[in-house]
Copies of this chain bind each other. A is one copy, B any other.
Amino acid sequence: MRLNEEKVFKDPVHGYIYVSDPLIWDLINTREMQRLRRIRQLGTSYVTYPGGEHSRFSHSLGVYEVVRQIVQAFARNAYDWPSEVNLLVMASGLLHDIGHAPFSHALEKVIGLRHEVWSERIILDPSTEVHQVLAAHSPGMAEDVAAIIGKTHPNKLAVSLVSGQLDADRLDYLMRDSIYTGVDYGKFDLARIIRVMRPHGGRIVVKRSGLHTVEAYLLARYFMYWQVYFHPVSRSAEVILKAILKRAQDLAGAGREPERTHFALTALFEGRLTMASYCALDDTVLFNAFNVWQYGPDQILADLCRRFLDRRLFTYVDAPPTDSAVYELMAGRVRAAGYDPHYYLAVDETGTVYYDYYLGAAGDLKGDSALFLWDEASQQLTEMSSLSEPIKAIAQEKQALRRLYFPEDVPAP
């Protein structure tokens, strides 16, 4: 069934996002999807790039649109692709971030669960609108979508369009984050990437002539990580955010919970998050809490909240020695300046968000994460980094960034 009239969203990245299937339209209008309008895609990056204020909602529409374009291209070229999964992968692309918490990376430590788990839960829980829409469409649809997002679905091809080395998620966010932040990196030729992708032997491969197009995409990622995602100032805001959450949790644990501003936060600190309270969490719940707490009785919490809201961030030194001597030295100086190092001194290791731009942590050239090029003439598959010197170079580069953050009035080591 198709919508009477195709719906469109105007979008700065793709021009238009086209919706002709009622299932997609109904999913977009669920409250769980609408919640993503209130979660910023780039977390704390806005403190560095004022333009980077876009939400996970517009990114999710973008991922859907990229999936739609890919499966349409597969159909047009009559590739060996099971078109009966088209709607499934489009829905999965749309919903892939449904479980994100506000400032996910920081909050997950407090929640104790990764957002991927929540994505599956939300899709499978009969109380959510997302589940109801999927279940009403066809039996098993919710389970299939959850399996695609959870990478447990037997159709590996379908999985890899949503989560793979060349997936719709990355294809959208690299371009979107680049356009919104205004940086001149992160651009590549999406139309041509889609044209050189094809299903082959159960995986998505790339036509040999598309080598340089895919190189450009992988290098876009390299640049975006360095210029945007790893930016030291944005990381400083994240360090403070984590300190706020730690302090609030510590206070709650000590029976001195900060002023209640939203039931989901209370539930969070008490470790009894339900589906309903999880789905009520968004950026505005955290911001409003910090806004109230900046005037609250606990001096540490108030100060950290004010720093976060007013962008009075910590400074840092790059690549401090890994032994504990520098940390101890700085802990002394932080204390001497009147701060508690527990909240005012932090090592930030991008090891924790480590990425080698190409193969992922495993570095597995045979596994799912490697990209293969298909040469029609010789009928051969070749792993990408063996054909491209720059990709081999960035695949080998291990980026274990470490930075030590502390207040500006503390003398640097």
Chain B residue with the shortest CB-CB distance to A32:
B310
Residues of B near A55 (CB, < 8 A) are: 50, 53
Query: Residue A25 at the B interface, CB < 8 A?
Result: no
Docked-complex contact A16 and B191, CB < 8 angstroms? yes
Docked-complex contact B29 and A37, CB < 8 angstroms? no
Q: Given A49-B10, A389-B397 in contact, is the A284-B288 Cβ separation under 8 Å?
A: yes
Give 1 or 0 for each of A285-320: 1 = CB within 8 Å of chain B CB: 101110110010000000000100111000000000
Question: Chain B's nearest CB lies how many Å from the CB of A22?
Answer: 16
Residues of B near A6 (CB, < 8 A) are: 77, 195
Q: Given A15-B182, A57-B50 in contact, is the A8-B216 Cβ separation under 8 Å?
A: no
Docked-complex contact A10 and B183, CB < 8 angstroms? yes
Question: Chain B's nearest CB lies how many Å from the CB of A13?
Answer: 8
Chain B residue with the shortest CB-CB distance to A41:
B53
Residues of B near A10 (CB, < 8 A) are: 49, 51, 181-183
Docked-complex contact A288 and B310, CB < 8 angstroms? no
Give 1 or 0 for each of A80-111: 1 = CB within 8 Å of chain B CB: 00000000000000000000000000000000
Query: Residue A345 at the B interface, CB < 8 A?
Result: no
Docked-complex contact B261 and A216, CB < 8 angstroms? no
Select one of B38, B179, B184 contacting A187, CB under 8 A. Answer: B184
Determine how many copies of this chain the complex contains: 4
Residues of chain A at interface, number, CB under 8 A = 73
CA distance A34 to B54 in the complex (A): 17
Question: Chain B's nearest CB lies how many Å from the CB of A278?
Answer: 13
Question: Chain B's nearest CB lies how many Å from the CB of A2?
Answer: 10
Residues of B near A37 (CB, < 8 A) are: 46, 50, 53
Query: Residue A348 at the B interface, CB < 8 A?
Result: no
CA distance A238 to B150 in the complex (A): 38
CA distance A195 to B390 in the complex (A): 26
Docked-complex contact A292 and B263, CB < 8 angstroms? yes
Chain B residue with the shortest CB-CB distance to A212:
B226
Residues of B near A34 (CB, < 8 A) are: 309-311
Query: Which residues of chain A from 365 to 410 have any CB-CB distance to chain B below 8 Å in the complex?
Result: 389-390, 392-394, 396-397
Docked-complex contact B11 and A50, CB < 8 angstroms? yes
Residues of B near A184 (CB, < 8 A) are: 187-189, 192, 216
Q: Given A38-B287, A309-B34 in contact, is the A187-B189 Cβ separation under 8 Å?
A: no
List the 4 closest A-B pairs by CB distance, nearest first.
Answer: A288-B288, A393-B393, A284-B287, A284-B284
Chosen A-B contacts, 30 in total, with CB atoms closer than 8 Å, are A6-B77, A10-B49, A10-B181, A10-B182, A12-B180, A12-B181, A31-B306, A31-B309, A31-B310, A34-B310, A37-B50, A38-B287, A50-B57, A50-B61, A51-B58, A53-B53, A184-B189, A184-B216, A187-B187, A222-B390, A262-B288, A280-B291, A282-B291, A283-B284, A284-B284, A284-B287, A287-B288, A389-B394, A389-B397, A392-B393
- In the complex, besides A50-B57, A263-B295, 6 extra interface pairs with C-beta distance below 8 angstroms are A6-B77, A10-B183, A31-B310, A50-B55, A261-B262, A393-B393
Chain A contact residues, CB within 8 Å of chain B? 6, 8-13, 15-16, 29-31, 34-35, 37-38, 46, 49-51, 53-55, 57-58, 61, 77, 179-185, 187-189, 191-192, 195, 212, 215-216, 219, 222-223, 226-227, 261-263, 280, 282-285, 287-289, 291-292, 295, 306, 309-311, 389-390, 392-394, 396-397
